[in-house]
Amino acid sequence: MSSNGAGEPSPAEIAKGLAAGREESLADAYRRWAGLVFTLAHRALGDRDDAEDVTQQVFVSAWRGRHSFDPDHGQLGAWLTGITKHRIADRLAIRHRDHRNAAAAADLLDTAAAPDQLDQHTVDRVLLADELAKLEDPRRTILRLAFYEDQTYPAIAEQLALPLGTVKSHVRRGLLHLRDRLEEVKSDDTSR
């Protein structure tokens, strides 16, 4: 079955096995091309955790999409490289969205008010600080690090020894909670 002396299947054999749905061929493909996929992702993203996530996503996508791969009309390595490019683009889009959301939240926290709105701006900042102080840790700490100390999500994850996804979830849920609380406070003030 193997074309080399070490007992390893050839790239063509791996490709045919993967297209046929053999799980051992997926494992062989991972052993053979995961390093390439990881390297491409790490160079493009500059972050080891993101590169590891992309590598996993590429092989999950390859397995799920194996029916669309024709080993007689293309090389498996090239097909996996194409999937890698798409997953990198997806991760960059997520980063861009997260950065845009974080920047918008920071603007909300730090926007200089017009002179006639100074009192309302001061009140909003005090309310926000008060609501932030009421949050449980680690959410409170994560939000402070992200918006007051301008730390990146990966830096926060490393500092607090938390998974990156957990940090992102805390930021999103924390911002939603703060927004809802500020809306409640403002609606209470207007109803008086």
Residue 9 has pLDDT above 90, yes or no: yes
- What pLDDT was estimated at residue 110? 61
- What pLDDT was estimated at residue 103? 75
Residues of the chain with CATH 1.10.10.10: 111-191
Residues of the chain with CATH 1.10.1740.10: 11-94
- What pLDDT was estimated at residue 118? 52
Question: pLDDT: is 191 or 155 the higher one?
Answer: 155
Question: pLDDT: is 141 or 39 the higher one?
Answer: 39
- What pLDDT was estimated at residue 1? 47
86-95: pLDDT as tens digits = 999 988 888 8
Mean local confidence (pLDDT), 14-25? 95
What is the rounded CA–CA span in Å between residue 32 and residue 76?
A: 10
Q: Can you say how many angstroms the Cα of residue 62 is from the centroid of all Cα atoms in its chain?
A: 20
Cα distances (Å, whole numbers) of residue 57 to 148, 162, 190 = 33, 21, 49
Q: Is 125 helix (H, G, I), strand (E, B) or coil?
A: helix
CATH architecture of structural domain 111-191: Orthogonal Bundle (1.10)
Residue/partner pairs of 42-47 with CB below 8 Å, 24 or more apart: 44/88, 44/92, 45/88, 45/91, 45/92, 47/154
* Whole-model pTM over 0.75: no
23-74: pLDDT as tens digits = 999 999 999 999 999 999 999 999 999 999 999 999 999 999 999 999 999 9
Q: The domain 11-94 is classified under which CATH number: 1.10.1740.10, 3.60.110.10, 1.10.3720.10, 3.40.50.2300?
A: 1.10.1740.10
User: Among 1, 50, 60, 51, which residue's Cα sits nearest to residue 26?
Assistant: 60
